[in-house]
Amino acid sequence: MIKKLYLYHILTKEKELIINKMKPLKPSMRENKRYLLIRGENLRENIEKAILEFIGILGMSKTGLFWVKEGNDWAVIAINREAVNNVRASFSVYKERIEVIRVSGTIKGLKIKNKPRI
């Protein structure tokens, strides 16, 4: 009797897990990200301030800003594809110098290619 109850309990728990599991999003429904390689000073503070001043809190939430990598004077951020132009405009208007070196759809594509030898 105890074994039957224990087995029944395990089976019902498995069913609950299957029922509560969410389906993954289709690739067409996911947010498309763009990665920006940025150069400047004190980037962690300046990037957030620049976006907030130019496009506001609602615009900041629409960008979906995500920090990927960070160095002394450079950073790689990920933003929503539709917000690239607004983010670039906010960097150009901001009082501190924030320079966008490269924009890419993948992190691997951000690598600066070697100049040809002459």
Query: Where do the structural domains in the chain lie, given as residue ranges?
Result: 33-106
Summarize the confidence of residues 14-33 as an average pLDDT: 72
Per-residue model confidence (pLDDT) at position 25: 84
Instruction: Give me the helices (H) in 1-118, please.
Output: 2-20, 43-63, 84-93
Q: Given a cut of 50, is residue 116 above it in pLDDT?
A: no
- CB-based contacts of 53: which residues, under 8 Å, 6+ apart? 90, 93, 94
- 33-106 has which fold? Alpha-Beta Plaits (3.30.70)
Query: Whole-structure pTM over 0.85, yes or no?
Result: no
Per-residue model confidence (pLDDT) at position 83: 94
